[in-house]
Structure 1
Amino acid sequence: MLILLPPSEGKSPAVKGPAVDLGALQFPELTAARQTVLASLATASTGPDAHRILGVGQSLGAEVLRNITLLDQPAAPAYKVYSGVLYDALGYSTLTPVQRRKAQESVVVISALWGALGFADPIPAYRLSMSVSLPDTGTLASFWRQRLGGPLDHRSGDSLVVDCRSSTYGAAWAGVPERTVAVNVLQERDGKRSVVSHSAKHTRGLLARHLITRRSGRPTTPDQLLLAAREQWQAELTPATSRKPAQLSIILQG
């Protein structure tokens, strides 16, 4: 089983520690591409229109400045740096040692800066979204779509891919439809269903935690994933087509 997560928008910078070692990150075949994005991001972050290019407000000036010296910043494991709602719900720090090992084996983070990361890969905090277009790379979703196929096809192999990414990050790589399940979260109220955002991130984090911590075997098919989800939630499964992965819909009430 491979669980794909997006990065969190908010990040917790490491206070101390060695700088990132690009060659030691998982998917080393992406090193040259990562160097290209790092250089382009540093250049963009020094310009007068840096905030416009990165799509952030003036209040995030310190994070934009950090982008200029990322290779000199202290690094920490990805599961510590990413600190948003999804990662809080996953709760890596509260997992047992065995469960942490399962998380590190199963989770891959799709990133605008790094392409793809192992859950324990040490990285610095940064500010960059997959929707951004940098001067030397173009739109990052398109940049990484041309480079992630080989590494992630190899990593996923014949495993079930549980895709907990947003559509922005989903655009960077798509798994084989019959072995991939995209996770959606809907809220049902008075018989009507609607898409939710904050609750979706939280629920996807809880689902990832459930799949890592449950004692039963890891799901290997979409139907087994549906059964695992139904241990905690009301859930429905729409089968895959030749072009579109299966859709697991978790239904929240109220």
Structure 2
Amino acid sequence: MLLLLPPSETKRRGGSGSGLDLAALSFPALTEHRRATLAAVAELSRDLPAAARALKLGPKSAADAALNVDLADAPTMPAIDRFDGVLYESLDAASLAAPARAWLGRSVVVSSALLGLVGALDPVPAYRLSADSRLPGLSLGRHWRAAQTELLAGVDGVVLDLRSEAYAGLGPAPVRADSAYLRVVTEGADGRARALNHFNKAAKGRLTRALAESEVAPASLDELLAWAESAGFVLRRGAVGELDLVVEQP
């Protein structure tokens, strides 16, 4: 099983790794794409005020542009611990036992605008870049889409895509019987399902944690649905190519 997660715009700082090593990242087929993105970010970062504007950073977060100045030598930590925000707080990967973290390493991939698809335990630096960021001479959509789509098409087994639409657009998952895009919905009094926005991230984090703790390895979406029912999740087929995770409105 491969679980695709979105990144978070905010990142935890620091790390014990001694610098970004592209050879240590999963999916070496993306190495040259990573080099190109890093070079474009380095060029943008020569003028930090301009970089902050290009990255759409407001006054409170403008200083984050400086994170991109020396990415090659910046300290690293596992991607699943680097990313912050609601989904990752709900997942709380740092508190998982070793077998569950090993499952994350085998089964979870995070979609990064800077580095493309990275494994959950891949060592990555703190940075600031979004799916819609503008880089000099490089369109992130055109840059990542073909390479990542081809990579995901070659993945065997169940693929469950928990990414936001913006990050899914940087490399759509394959359209096939054992692949699905997850939507988090709630049901109103009229029985109709409605998509959740902010609160969908916490639900995705809880689902990811439960999968890791169970060390699930479903051979099909039907097996995944059966596991979800046994684990107390309301997960069901939605529109074509989608699964709905039904939660109560907070």
**Partners of 2:89 and 2:213 in 1: CA distance:** 15
Partner SS, residue 71 of structure 1: coil
Give 2:219's aligned residue: 220
1:98-153 alpha-carbon deviations (Å, 9 max, x no partner): 11111100001111000110111111100001112312211x12210022134333
Off by >4 Å, runs of 4+ in structure 1: none
**Partners of 1:16 and 1:61 in 2: CA distance:** 25
Please tell me whether the aligned partners of residues 185 and 203 of structure 1 are also in contact (alpha carbons under 8 angstroms). yes
1:36-92 alpha-carbon deviations (Å, 9 max, x no partner): 111111222333432232122122222101212111211111111112211122221
Cα distance, 1:16 vs. partner? 4.6
Give 1:54's aligned residue: 55
Please tell me whether the aligned partners of residues 46 and 69 of structure 2 are also in contact (alpha carbons under 8 angstroms). yes
**Partners of 1:183 and 1:12 in 2: CA distance:** 26
Give 1:176's aligned residue: 174
Report matched runs for 1:151-162 at 5 Å. Answer: 151-154=151-154, 156-157=155-156, 159-162=157-160
Matched AA of 1:161: V
Cα distance, 1:24 vs. partner? 1.6
Please tell me whether the aligned partners of residues 162 and 182 of structure 2 are also in contact (alpha carbons under 8 angstroms). yes
**Partners of 2:239 and 2:166 in 1: CA distance:** 22
Q: TM-score, normalised by structure 2?
A: 0.90
Q: TM-score, normalised by structure 1?
A: 0.89
Please tell me whether the aligned partners of residues 162 and 182 of structure 1 are also in contact (alpha carbons under 8 angstroms). yes
**Partners of 2:195 and 2:239 in 1: CA distance:** 19
**Partners of 2:46 and 2:6 in 1: CA distance:** 26
**Partners of 2:95 and 2:15 in 1: CA distance:** 21
Partner SS, residue 218 of structure 2: coil
Matched AA of 2:57: V
Matched AA of 2:246: I
1:154-178 alpha-carbon deviations (Å, 9 max, x no partner): 3x22x10011100001112223222
Please tell me whether the aligned partners of residues 149 and 174 of structure 2 are also in contact (alpha carbons under 8 angstroms). no
**Percent of aligned pairs sharing the same letter:** 34
**Partners of 1:62 and 1:16 in 2: CA distance:** 22
Please tell me whether the aligned partners of residues 203 and 247 of structure 2 are also in contact (alpha carbons under 8 angstroms). no
Q: How many residues align?
A: 245
Give 2:186's aligned residue: 187
Matched AA of 1:252: V
**Partners of 2:206 and 2:247 in 1: CA distance:** 13
Q: CA RMSD in A?
A: 1.8
Give 1:63's aligned residue: 64
Please tell me whether the aligned partners of residues 34 and 115 of structure 1 are also in contact (alpha carbons under 8 angstroms). yes
**Partners of 1:149 and 1:181 in 2: CA distance:** 14
Structure 2: which 5+ runs fail to align? none
Structure 1: which 5+ runs fail to align? none
**Partners of 1:70 and 1:193 in 2: CA distance:** 43
Change (3 A) 1:190 1:204: same
**Partners of 1:44 and 1:144 in 2: CA distance:** 18
Give 2:43's aligned residue: 43
Matched AA of 2:146: Q
Give 1:233's aligned residue: 233
Cα distance, 1:237 vs. partner? 0.6
**Partners of 1:106 and 1:133 in 2: CA distance:** 31
Give 1:135's aligned residue: 136
**Partners of 2:226 and 2:17 in 1: CA distance:** 42
Give 2:245's aligned residue: 250
